[in-house]
Structure 1
Amino acid sequence: MKNGLTVLELFCGGGIGTNGILAAGYDVVKALDFDKNAVKAYRHNFGDHVEQADINTVEIGSLPDTDVIFGGPPCQDYSIAGKGEGEEGERGKLVFRYIDIIAEKQPKAFIFENVKGLIGKKHRHTFNALLTKFNEIGYEVNWKLIMAWDYGVAQKRERVFVVGIRKDLGFTYAFPKPLEGDYRTIVLRDVIGDLPEPAQQSNGGHLSDNYGTEYEMANRKESFDKPGATVTAHHRCSYTHPGEEQRRFTVRECMRIQSVPDSYVIPDDISLSAQYRIVGNGIASRVAWYIGKALAEQLNAGTKSEM
């Protein structure tokens, strides 16, 4: 059911989070990303309103005016697993371009997502500066470190979400509480237990029994009866399938763990490594749905109260 609100997606990736935003009733009118494979996957699933573009060079005035801006700038520079270059890294600078776009477009609200490392000791000064900047450009912000498992996702994925509401609307966003039955209940068996064993070429490869301690640490076996570890963009650094076969998770299994509906399909002519990257870089679909749905309810309630 449509909620009457429009969205501009920045850094949309392959649209993993888009699944949740659309399910929450939004109309996505424009989406941008620099990665050609991600854009190809997005277009295949959602349509031609996506554009491959460099956010740093796009003309802000050419972007549509929408109710909401949704997306998270590439996060590797703030990641615990990444280089940790922060705002000085090229990708880190995109965060401030994101702010420039919000400042000029002045949507009713924005949803910003990033890695847990952004609020860690090393980068906390940058995060605090971001919050200050959001305030300076006219937004009341609220933020939360969200564990995907708390919201019906079979994954212990932690991400920082900042939601800003334009000050003239007169309220601050309230993060939603999980629905009954969603809070830390969903495990891997619930989401991948019904999938058949894959053909050899459809996953990251079966693993040899002869691998060293470092390899073991980076490739620990999961359990069907627990949530999965964070789905990463690099499938060869991930945990392994809990079944009898010693193998990686397939792309479809990773999508299930990211709460992506089976109707979402990545074209076969996109390389396997790029497919894993698309899924691992995405916002868990169900988390996007939760945050987007709550935002729509609050925006629409605020609009009605002004009438």
Structure 2
Amino acid sequence: MTKFDATPQLPPNGLTVAELFAGGGLMAVGLKSAGYDLVWANDFDKNAVKAYRHNLGDHIVHGDITALDIDSIPDVDVIAGGPPCQDYSVAGTGAGESGERGKLVWAYLRIIETKRPKAFIFENVKGLIMKKHRPTFDSLLERFAAIGYTVSWRPINAWDYGVAQKRERVFIVGIREDLGFTFEFPEPSAEYYRTQVLRDVIGDLPEPSEYYYRHPRNYDRRAVYSIDEVAPTVRTVNRPMPDGYKPHPEDAHVTVEIAKHNPQPLSEKALEYPHRDPRHLQKHRPPTEDEPSPTLPAVLHKGVPYGLFYPPNHVQTQATTVKPHQRLSNQRGYVADMDGPGRTVNTCRLDHAEIHPQQPRRFTVRECLRIQSVPDWYVLPDDLSLSAQYRIVGNGVASRVAYLLGVTLAEQLRTTTESSAIGERLISDDSGREAV
């Protein structure tokens, strides 16, 4: 078995990239895998900067982008990144460009105007193109055109591109006008269009044992398991094993180390939340392995109802009819067989909901990373709080989407420049250097 990697490393393409609002580097992971040279990055969150440095290098600068000397940003071929989205998110403040974070879209534009890369990739929440914030979006497109960029934009659902998550984000790709072409977004392939489900990305990870939920402190932050033809054998690193534990006879076989795959036990109150009111269950029903994940939000660290997941090996039982606000912690409900289709969740009636006889559990950090299509070589530092780790993952760009956009952009730049050297610099130089 090989470790999970939805963004296989391509050879260097000769293009350099700087990333604004880089977060923990989930977008950078995709661009790096696509062959780009990451030369500079910035973020305001010290925990995100620590995660970025731990995985991608020391070229990230910690600080407020609005206070940064733009001239200190190196000349690059591509500038990428997405300003904080909370002020434009449907679930966020709704403040839009008047919010402190909402204003940062204009800081992004000023940097593009000053540095004049040959291309940029801008990412944000789908709320930016909804009715309330559409004037800001349209104004942003007009401003990009005014400073000399031909822009293309598209709302992208990550599930359409081989990510096991229904994550919708809007992307703008701008091409400097002197290059003479308009970026064309990659189309989803039949192989990956809405085919990936949780089983595909987390199905090979060991399921936490019942012992863990009773004695979580006996487990380390890393799970090490053996791979054989029957099932993985779960054991831990440098921690005492449960009383009576007997190692599998094949434990000496090849072991694979998976970081950040420790489940987080939930309180009784938290477990009961989705079942307390059928409306909660309809809105926040945890997915099974046969479905893609709902969007992992920036507030994933807050726990229930975010990031809940029904573990495998469910038992099909008879559905139960309940009344609004009836507590269902001891009730049994229906869940489809793992290899069959799930029943429709009724959104019209409040007196019926499909529930599960077993309590859901929370996604582990590693599972969240895989759902975001982040390779297993990416590991969050141990000294980050659990809430910080979840926040970094929830705020990130799905790495595979960034990878595919990066590959497509590099190919179109190479074709348009008609050069054998894909990284040939075409940045306009106001200081007297000639553009190649």
TM-score when scaled to structure 1?
0.96
Q: Which whole-Å CA distance do the structure 2 matches of 1:227 and 1:240 have between them?
A: 13
Q: Which residue of 1 aligns with 2:8?
A: none
Q: Which residue of 1 aligns with 2:309?
A: 241
Q: Which residue of 1 aligns with 2:372?
A: 258
C-alpha displacement of 1:142: 0.3
Counterpart of 1:29 (choices 39, 47, 63) is: 39
Q: Which runs of 5+ in 2 are unaligned?
A: 1-10, 217-261, 312-357, 420-425, 427-435
Q: Which moved more, 1:197-206 or 1:178-187?
A: 197-206
Counterpart of 2:414 (choices 279, 300, 303) is: 300
C-alpha displacement of 1:234: 1.7
| 1:183 to 2:187 alignment | no
Residues 163-217 of structure 1: CA deviation (Å, up to 9, x unaligned) = 0000000000000012341111100110011112345553343252533226545
Count the aligned residue pairs: 307
Q: Which residue of 2 aligns with 1:205?
A: 265
Q: Which residue of 2 aligns with 1:165?
A: 175
CA contact (8 A) 1:206 1:246 kept: no
> Counterpart of 1:222 in 2: which secondary structure?
coil
Residues 200-249 of structure 1: CA deviation (Å, up to 9, x unaligned) = 55334325253322654564221211111001122224141121552111
AA of the residue aligned to 2:376:
D
Q: Which moved more, 1:238-247 or 1:254-263?
A: 238-247
Q: Which whole-Å CA distance do the structure 1 matches of 2:191 and 2:42 have between them?
A: 35
Q: Which whole-Å CA distance do the structure 1 matches of 2:185 and 2:169 have between them?
A: 14
| 1:82 to 2:150 alignment | no
Q: Which whole-Å CA distance do the structure 2 matches of 1:137 and 1:207 have between them?
A: 53
Residues 140-159 of structure 1: CA deviation (Å, up to 9, x unaligned) = 00000000000000000000
CA contact (8 A) 1:207 1:247 kept: no
Counterpart of 1:286 (choices 400, 407, 415) is: 400
Q: Which residue of 1 aligns with 2:291?
A: 226
Q: Which whole-Å CA distance do the structure 1 matches of 2:196 and 2:310 have between them?
A: 15
> Counterpart of 1:252 in 2: which secondary structure?
helix
Residues 204 and 220 of structure 1: CA distance in aligned 2, closer, same or farther (over 3 Å): farther
> Counterpart of 2:151 in 1: which secondary structure?
strand
Cα RMSD (Å) of the superposition?
1.6
TM-score when scaled to structure 2?
0.68
Q: Which whole-Å CA distance do the structure 1 matches of 2:396 and 2:58 have between them?
A: 19
CA contact (8 A) 1:32 1:52 kept: yes
Larger Rg: 2
AA of the residue aligned to 1:206:
L
> Counterpart of 2:41 in 1: which secondary structure?
strand
AA of the residue aligned to 1:276:
Y
CA contact (8 A) 1:207 1:246 kept: no
